Amino acid sequence: MEFRKIGSVKFIEGGVCAAGGFRANGIQCGLTHEGAALTTKKNDLALIVADDECTAAAVYTTNKVKGAPIIVTKQHIKDGRARAVIVNSVNANTCNPDGIEKAQAMCRLAAKALKIKEDDVIVASTGVIGQVLPIEPIEKGMPELAEGLSYDGNSRALEAIMTTDTMPKEIAVEFVLGGQVCKMGGMLKGSGMIHPNMATTLTFITTDADISPELLQRALDDTVKVTLNRVSVDGDTSTNDMVCVLASGKAGNKTVKKEDEDFEAFENALYNIMMNLARMMARDGEGATKLVECVCTGADSDKTAEIVAKSVITSNLFKAMIFGQDANAGRIYCAVGYAQADFDIEDVDIDVSSPAGKIALGRQGNVVRFSEEDAARILEEEEIQINISLGDGTGSAVAWGCDLTYDYVKINGDYRS
């Protein structure tokens, strides 16, 4: 997938190690599912650490069931400061009576190895829910994990957070604040249990920009609403969702303390990071073969446009239609029609496009005649865009999803094996 650029940023290499002063590493410590043998050599434990204490912000799942790492992390960054992230895959450390104890132990082990304060460590876990997390493999692997930290260890760390992901998801950009060049990088895991109101993901973002804790949180809150909260794969919202940002201030820019041009530039860089990660997550939806982008315009408000776009990308009938490459415009109109928003269906136009071309499927609430051959050619592409106009309003929104395939059922039918 090609990255999509908005505004004045430059794509660079390095992921979470792109910004100055951040090291990372990932190892296989030997975590397995309960009753399963260790059959893979994939990394399962990652560490990200800054040379100095950072400003920190995070957002979390809206699920009432929350993984123990989230509870611990909320306590650790309530002062808006952090320095390291310890994260494991395979086991979500959720719905366990000793979960908080294990999450705290992970922080304690990382802090000891790094010689930093325990409450400066963010902890996260992903994997199977409801199985006790064994701390012994993590304790045994911690010396190797810490000793292997490097300023180019981003790929090793990224591998360690992947579960059913089939592709790595990382990105980094350069941008300018007050004449100073700043860098920002991020990595994400997420493939299934993806739905708006925190699409299922662990996302870690680092930057060397200097920004106050309050505005860092504001930027993250603003940006997650129009990126990760606009992605859906299967309608399931996970228990362990977390996005955290660490800002070291190493770039030397004047501290961003108010919502001025520098704040807008910072927020734009964050949007570029999170929007592209969101697109990658949708494309890598479990079993998916296509990325679907739904663009809704002409609404009376951005919120109305968002509701309609989400309604389309979450429709199982629509998702199956995309998989079958069947230009059944009625299914799109149906999904638009049951969206919980006010608009006149007689104003709704629908187009579908891809690198292979663009055709009209509906006008003024009615399906129009079109070439089935042209439509099939357009839907053969890996990236499909659905364009929906609700009228002549100024509101607009974009949401991302994927097709629904046989492989989604196969993957989730034996997830624990």
Q: Is the pLDDT assigned to residue 364 strictly greater than 90? A: yes
What mean pLDDT is reported for the chain? 91
Confidence at 417, pLDDT banded by 50, 70, 90: very low
pLDDT at 326: 87
Percent of the chain, pLDDT > 70?
91
Range with the poorest average pLDDT among 65-69, 139-143, 260-264: 65-69
**pLDDT score recorded for residue 241:** 85
Q: Would you place residue 283 in the very low, low, confident or very high pLDDT band (cuts 50, 70, 90)?
A: confident
Q: What is the pLDDT of residue 237?
A: 62
Region 274-280: what's the mean pLDDT? 92
Per residue in 161-182, pLDDT tens? 988 788 899 999 999 999 999 9
Q: Give 95's pLDDT tier (boundaries 50, 70, 90).
A: very high
Residue 116 has pLDDT above 80, yes or no: yes
pLDDT, tens only, 371-413: 999 999 999 999 999 999 999 999 999 999 888 876 666 665 5
Mean pLDDT of 249-270: 97
Indicate which residue of 126, 200, 239, 405 is catalytic. Answer: 200
Q: Catalytic annotation on 32?
A: no
The more confident residue out of 145 and 238 is 145
Query: Is the pLDDT reported for residue 415 higher than 50?
Result: no
Residue 147: pLDDT over 90: yes
Written in H, E and C, the secondary structure of the chain is: CCCCCCCCCEEECCHHHCCCCEEEEEECCCCCCCCCCCCCCCCCEEEEEEEEEEEEEEEECCCCCCCHHHHHHHHHCCCCEEEEEEEECCECCCCCCCHHHHHHHHHHHHHHHHCCCHHHEEEEECCECCCCCCCHHHHHHHHHHHHCCECCCHHHHHHHHCCCCCCCCEEEEEEEECCEEEEEEEEEECCCCCCCCCCCCEEEEEECCCECHHHHHHHHHHHHHCCHHHECCCCCCCCCCEEEEEECCCCCCCCECCCCHHHHHHHHHHHHHHHHHHHHHHHCCCCCCCEEEEEEEEECCHHHHHHHHHHHHCCHHHHHHHHHCCCCHHHHHHHHHCCCCCCCHHHCEEEEEECCEEEEEEECCEECCCCHHHHHHHHCCCEEEEEEECCCCCEEEEEEEECCCHHHHHHHHCCCC
Tell me the domains of the chain and their CATH numbers.
Answer: 10-283 (3.60.70.12), 291-413 (3.10.20.340)
Q: What is the per-residue pLDDT for 9?
A: 97
Residue 196 is predicted with a pLDDT of 55
pLDDT of residue 167: 83
Span 177-212, pLDDT tens digits: 999 999 999 999 875 444 555 556 799 999 999 999
**Statement: residue 333 has pLDDT above 70:** yes
Please say if the pLDDT value at position 350 is more than 90: yes
Please check the confidence at residue 38 and state whether its pLDDT lies above 80.
no
What's the pLDDT score for residue 175? 98
Percent share of the chain, pLDDT over 90:
76
Question: Would the pTM count as exceeding 0.85?
Answer: yes
Mean pLDDT for the stretch of residues 266-271:
98
Q: How confident is the model at residue 416 (pLDDT cuts 50, 70, 90)?
A: very low
Query: What was the pLDDT predicted at 390?
Result: 98
pLDDT(29) > 60: yes
